[in-house]
Amino acid sequence: MSVRSNVQSQILEAFNFRHATKIFDPDKKISDSEFETILEAGRLSPTSFGHEPFKVLVIQSPEMREHFRDFAWGANGMMNGSAGQLGTASHFGIILASTAETMTAGSDYLQHHYRSVKQLPDDVIDLFNGAYGKFQSTDHRVTSDREITDWSGKQAYIVLANMMTAAALMGIDSCPIEGFDMGLTTKVLSDHFDVDTAKWKPAVMFAFGHRADDPQFPKTRRSMAETVSWF
């Protein structure tokens, strides 16, 4: 088998291996170096305009995880009576999305980001301010706090997808989780995690670890013909 076809089969094997794991084996932890690789896959993800409008909270303390128990129904085993992903995942967390306060064109946060992170010269910063301002006001009409936070959330989902694929390539299981009450999660983040929720809102939760059992259901998907149109 050529190197290239070998990589293709490894990729497909990883995508078929990955499933939304409901219960992890609590005794099988991911190593620090494996989780660092997963985080690095997230950090290196593409984001629109390179704005990186996300942050990752990793929540390892069982007590801190319990703050979400009553309303993170997608992570708490409500449907199968187990401790769910919250209670069993080796690594659990939340990706936060930037709100309008940080991600509105011209914001102080973005000027700092262009200068300090992207290391852009002033004339290019002017171009970014203009192009992003037009993108928000005209092209995509993303102007309200909700719209801007949702736009940031889209970037957060790309981050999580890359983290899950990186994990799957290492034989590590995962679950993306949006089964939670947004308002109550925001309040917990503000009350217990020192998150400035005027600037950051929850986008999606995640769990990583090793499955306790084989998937309950076989993987089903629409056919390629139903999914893709060629022109």
Ligand X SMILES: Cc1cc2nc3c(=O)[nH]c(=O)nc-3n(C[C@H](O)[C@H](O)[C@H](O)COP(=O)(O)O)c2cc1C
List residues near ligand X by CB under 6 A.
19-20, 22, 74, 175-179, 204, 219
Nearer to ligand X by C-beta: 178 or 181? 178
Residue nearest to ligand X as judged by C-beta position: 74
Nearer to ligand X by C-beta: 77 or 114? 77
Nearer to ligand X by C-beta: 113 or 211? 211
| Beta carbon of residue 161, minimum distance to ligand X (angstroms, whole number) | 8
| Beta carbon of residue 122, minimum distance to ligand X (angstroms, whole number) | 39
| Beta carbon of residue 66, minimum distance to ligand X (angstroms, whole number) | 17
| Beta carbon of residue 171, minimum distance to ligand X (angstroms, whole number) | 16
| Beta carbon of residue 18, minimum distance to ligand X (angstroms, whole number) | 7
Nearer to ligand X by C-beta: 22 or 113? 22
Q: Nearest CA to 146 among 196, 201, 220? A: 201
